[in-house]
Each structure stands twice: as C-alpha cells, then as structure tokens.
Amino acid sequence: MKKLYHKQSIMNALLATASGVMLALAFPRPGVYPLAWVALVPLLAAIRRVGPAAGFGLGFLTGLIFFSVLLYWIALFGYLPWAMLAVVEALFIACFALLANLAWRGRRFAILAVPALWTAIEWLRSLGTFGFTWGGLGYSQARWPEIVQLASITGVWGVSFAIVLVNVLLVESLARTDRRRYLFASLAAAVIVAMYLGGISSITRSRISAPDKQVALVQGGIEMAWRDSGLLDRIWRTYWPLTESIRGRVDFIVWPESALPDDLLSSPSLQREMSRLARAFDAHILTGGPHIVPDDRAEAGYREYNGAYLISPSGELAGEYFKVHLVPFGEFVPGRNWIPFIERYRVREVDYSPGKSHNTLRSESGDVGVMICFESIFPQIGRKITGDGAGMLFVITNDSWFGRTAAAAQHHDFSILRAVENRRYIARTATTGITSLIAPTGQVMGSISLGRSSVLTGRASFIRTKTFYTKYGDWFAVLCAAVGLISLLVCKTHSFLITKPRKHY
C-alpha cells in the first residue's frame, strides 16, 4: 500500500511539473501559445484525486516551475530576488489548486467554478502597490488576434477564463469512460471555435476610422539602464540624428522612457532644443525624462519623478505626466532601511516619487494617454486614461535592463491586450526594443526588433467610442470572484449534508 501511495505521489508530482513547463513554454520565448489550452490538464488531473493539502503542494510545484522559467531574467538582478518572486507568485497557483480541489467536491458547479477561481486569483494578483500580472494566461494569446477580441468586453480576464475552461473540459473528458467523454471534448473544441469565429466577426465589425495621423517612433538602441559619464553624450549623438532623419510629414514623434538627457522643466537649453525639433517638423513630440524637485523634507534633499512630456508643434510644453505605479524594488524599495543586504543588489540609491494621478495630455488632435513601462501591464490603468478621454495611447519604456532576454517580448504583449481592451491605437516606443505600432484590434502593424537603432513610421487615428470594458471595467473578474465564492460555500454545505461517501456506478 505504501509503495502504491509513493508511486502515485511521484506521478502527481510529474504531472504538476509538466503543467509548469508547458505554461512557461506558452509565453515568449519560445511562445508556443496553443500549449496554454492544455497546459493545466496534468495539474488539474492530479489535484482531482488528492486532498486539499496535497493539492496546495502540487499547485505550488507547478507555480514554482512556471514562474522560475518565465521570469528567469529577474536573475539578472540577483538569484535571491528571482527566487523570492517565483515563490510569491507560486503561492497564488497553490491557492488556486487548493480551492479548485474544494470546488470539485461540490461537483455540480466545478466546470465553471474552477476557471472562475483561476480568473479571480489572476485579478487579485493585479491589484495594489505590489500587483503583478506577468504570467496571466490571457497574455499568452496576444499573438492570436482572433482569440483575444473578447477582451474588449471582459478585459483580459475573459480570455484567461476561456483557456482554463477548455483545460477543465478536457480533464472531465479524460476522467470519463462513457459517451460523455466525447461531449466534454466537443465542448472544449466548441469554446475555441466560438472564440475564433467571434473574434473574426469582431475584427470585421470594428468601426475604426481610417488612420489619418502619421507617427514616428524612435528607437535609439542604446542601453539606458544605468546612467554613466558617457550616457548623456550617447543620447545626444543618437536621438537627435535619428529624429532629423525622418522624412515626410509627421504628426507625432515619440521617444522612449528616459530618453531626455536632463530635466526638461529646469533646463532652458534642453527646452530650446526640443522646441526647435518640434517646430522643424511641425509635430508633437512625446518623450520620457526625469524631473527633480528640491525638497528639504526628503532624505536625499530632493524628490525625483519618472516623467513624460508632450511638446506641441509650436514648440511649447503642452503637458506632462509623472509615473504613478512604480516598480517595487526597481523604482522604489519598500522598507529600504530595514533590509540590510539591499545594497548588494542593483537598486536605485534614491526612490522615485509617484505622480499624483493618471492624467491625459492635450494635443491639437485630441487627448492622448501615456503609460510608462511597468504601467502597461495593468488593465486598470489603460482603461482609466481611455475612460478619461484619451483617443490614442502611448507606451514608452526602457527595457534595456533586461538585455536580449525574453522579458522585452513578454512585456510587449501586454500592450496588445491594452489596445484590444480599449479599441485604441497604441504607439509603443522602447529604448532597445521592442518598438511597435499596434492596431485597435491587437494586430501589430509594424515593429523594430530588439537591439536595433531605427525609426518606425506608420499611421494611426484618434478614436472616440468606448468599449464595454472601458465603460464597466473589471466586471467579469468580479463576477468570477463571486462565482468562485459561491461554489466554495456550496462545497462546504455539501460536505455537511453528506455523511457517507457516494457510491459510483
């Protein structure tokens, strides 16, 4: 008996491991996105036949492997941060596995309850100062535009729900020995076909005006992770010549995060240079740059902001935005004074200060919304600035921190979902890549690959209409949380009512 139990435990661990590996492979790189539709099958099959505690352990194993592989590039900042982040995120998968195990005891609602629980946990992962959405299943399908159109109604959460639903239906099919196994397999296929056909219809019916604005996205290709004595000179020798090489009329010229060599608001010489460029092209220029404010109350004697500036065709400053959602341990260190070994890792010596709000910027063509780097991974931020009137969205980012790892491609795919959710053109400009112009349907209209120094030009337009998701936000995720909670209450009630195990015939 012990030998049989030992063999079963090993088999369950192998199944959990298989799920972790397949989940990681579904994301860039290599980005085998169809794997997501079957990746959870081994884990779900394993947790169906164990107790809640064992289910938690199997979920943790899947999550640890998944996030360790997916986020391998975090090790660039040290093995401890990589391991800690993988463990924290794995705990979410572990909690899902435990709750899914309990939901299956309720039986009747399990097919909907399990994907609802996964979706609710993904949503909870996105909330708050320490929110983190990397590894959300919906993002694995970013390069399959027909599938992700559902996001304009439900947000990315609906795509994640559908993926887990298909996995659950396949597990139900494998668990049956009667004709119902074919029914569940057919339902799984029907979900994918329905999403695909619905996506084609949505793309066809999308009322998007003909693009009438010419945009030029400037990717310098120089690393700006850490400011050294030669960086400012490299910026001057890269971004100005690249911009001046643009031919033809343009309406918007976009530089990435951190592209300015100085604080635009306090440097008259930099203001004159940027004003000259804007007037020479008769175009708006959007660029990222620092902003430093003297403050005797701050420990360093000043406060620094991560900013974005919009310069009008007349050369005047049309508006500025300061990043609100900062990167924990990247742009600010929680409890810096209580972590004695923090100096061993590459963190900023002085924390950035957050901006006050996610404000839009006024251009002559209409309001534009800006997401700076990390902010593009949060559906709530894209929805907020679109709801406030942004007719076009810009993502400016500095991904040179991650070299040529898969982080840049993973980060890029978040912008695809933001475009679909809000039906807006997104111009995404990165320091070293990936720079791209994304249509409101999520199709990438053009891009500059990692490490190149180049300019991408294309056409976009301002859109006034708002999607169901833009209007009503994370309603689907909240609904999933409610369904998951109800299923768990039903399961608890069921366990009290049933005094003897059922016989299965």
First to last CA, the chain: 24
Out of 89, 146, 373, 421, which one is annotated catalytic? Answer: 373
Tell me if 176 sits within 8 A of 184, measured CB to CB. Answer: yes
Q: Output the 3-class SS for 157-170.
A: HHHHHHHHHHHHHH
CA 333 to chain centre: 21
Q: Catalytic annotation on 273?
A: no
What lies within 8 Å, CB to CB, of 337 at 6+ separation is none
Query: If you count them, how many residues does the chain have?
Result: 505
Residue of 323, 384, 421, 491 marked catalytic:
323
Hey, which residues does 368 pair with through a beta bridge? 361, 392
| Edge-to-edge order in the sheet of strand 426-430 | 361-363, 366-372, 392-397, 426-430, 435-438, 444-448
If one counts every other C-beta atom within 10 angstroms of the C-beta of residue 346, the result is: 14
Q: Is 315 strand, coil or helix?
A: coil
* Residues 388-407: b if buried by 16+ CB within 10 A, e if exposed: eebbbbbbbbbbbbbeebbb
Identify residue 199 by its one-letter amino acid code: G
At 49, is the secondary structure helix, strand, or coil? coil
**Which residue among 122, 146, 172, 257 is the active-site one?**
257
User: Minimal CA–CA distance to 156: which of 390, 439, 420, 408?
Assistant: 420
Looking at residue 201, its amino acid is S
d(CA 159, CA 167): 13
Question: Tokens 């996610």 sit at which residue?
Answer: 358
Smallest CA-to-CA distance from 468 within 161, 160, 199, 154 is with 154
CA distance 414 to 143: 11
Q: Is 257 a catalytic residue?
A: yes
Assess whether the previous peptide bond of 434 is cis (omega < 30° from 0).
yes
Catalytic residues: 257, 323, 373
